[in-house]
Structure 1
Amino acid sequence: MRPNKRDELVRKALQVFYKSGFHATGMDKLVVETGVSKTSMYKHFRTKEELILAALRLRDENFRNWFLRRVQELADTPAEQLLASFDALGEWFNEDGFRGCMFIKAGAEFQEKEHPIHVQAAEHKRALLEYFTDLARKAGARNPEALGCQILLLKEGAIVTAVLLKSCDPARDAKAAARVLLDAALA
Structure 2
Amino acid sequence: MLQYKTVLYCSIERENITASHSSARQRLLETASDLFYRKGIRSIGVDTIAEQSGVGKPTLYRHFSTKDKLISAYLEEENCLHWQWFEEAIAPLQESAKAQLLALIDATTQILTKPGYRGCAFLNALAEFSEEDHPAHRQAIEYKHALRLRLYQLSQQAGARDPDALADQLLLVINGALASAPLFGSSGPSAQLTTIAPYLVDFQL
Query: What is the TM-score with the length of structure 2 in the denominator?
Result: 0.84
Shift of 1:132: 0.7
- Which of 101, 108, 114 is residue 95 of structure 1 equivalent to? 114
Counterpart AA for 1:100? G
For 2:73 and 2:118, the matched residues in 1 are separated by: 19
The aligned counterpart of 2:188 is 168
Q: Count residues with an aligned counterpart.
A: 185
Shift of 1:59: 0.8
Q: List alignment gaps of at least 5 residues for structure 1.
A: none
Counterpart AA for 2:132? K
Give 1:73-92 correspondences, 5 Å limit.
73=92, 77-92=96-111
Q: C-alpha offsets along residues 53-81 of structure 1, whole Å, 9 cap, x if unaligned?
A: 00100011012201221233478521122
Query: What is the TM-score with the length of structure 1 in the denominator?
Result: 0.91
For 2:198 and 2:149, the matched residues in 1 are separated by: 19
Q: List alignment gaps of at least 5 residues for structure 2.
A: 1-18
Shift of 1:25: 0.4
What SS does the aligned partner of 1:49 have? helix
CA RMSD of aligned residues (A): 1.7
- Aligned: 1:61 with 2:80: yes
Q: C-alpha offsets along residues 140-170 of structure 1, whole Å, 9 cap, x if unaligned?
A: 0111122111111111100111111025162
Give 1:10-29 correspondences, 5 Å limit.
10-29=29-48
Counterpart AA for 1:69? E
The aligned counterpart of 1:135 is 154
For 2:106 and 2:93, the matched residues in 1 are separated by: 8
For 1:97 and 1:137, the matched residues in 2 are separated by: 35
Aligned-residue identity in percent = 37
The aligned counterpart of 2:20 is 2
Matched-pair contact (CA < 8 Å) for 2:109–2:194: no
What SS does the aligned partner of 1:154 have? helix
Counterpart AA for 2:188? C
